[in-house]
Amino acid sequence: MTVKGQLHACRDSLMAGMRASARGAAPNERAATLLRACLDLVEHLVRQSMDVKSGEVETTLGVLEQAYAELEAEVGATHAVSVSLRNAIGKLKALRIEMDAKPG
C-alpha cells in the first residue's frame, strides 16, 4: 500500500471514531477533541505524503498512542471510539514498518 493510502486508511479510522464519539445519549466531547487533534496531525501528513519521513510518522504515532491511553483511562469512552483509534495506530505502525524496510 502506498504512503498516501496508509495515511488515508488511518484518517478514515479516526473519522469513524469521531462519528462514534458523537453518537448515543451523551456524546463524548473529550473523545471528540482528542480524535480531532489526532486527525489534524494525520491530515497534515496526508498533505505532505510524498515527502513524509519515518520520524514524522513516529511522532504522530506517539501522539495517537497517548490519546489512546487517555481514552482508556477515561470512564465514558465507548468501545467503538477505542477500536477506531487502535485501528488508526495499527495503520501508522504498518506504515512505519514499511517505510523503515524501504532502502533509501
Kindly tell me the burial class for residue 57, based on how many C-beta atoms sit within 10 Å of its own C-beta (0-12, 13-18, 19 or more): buried
Q: What is the predicted pLDDT for the residue at 24?
A: 72
pTM confidence score: 0.89
The C-alpha cell that represents 59 in the structure block = 511522532
Residue numbers in the chain where pLDDT is lower than 50 = none
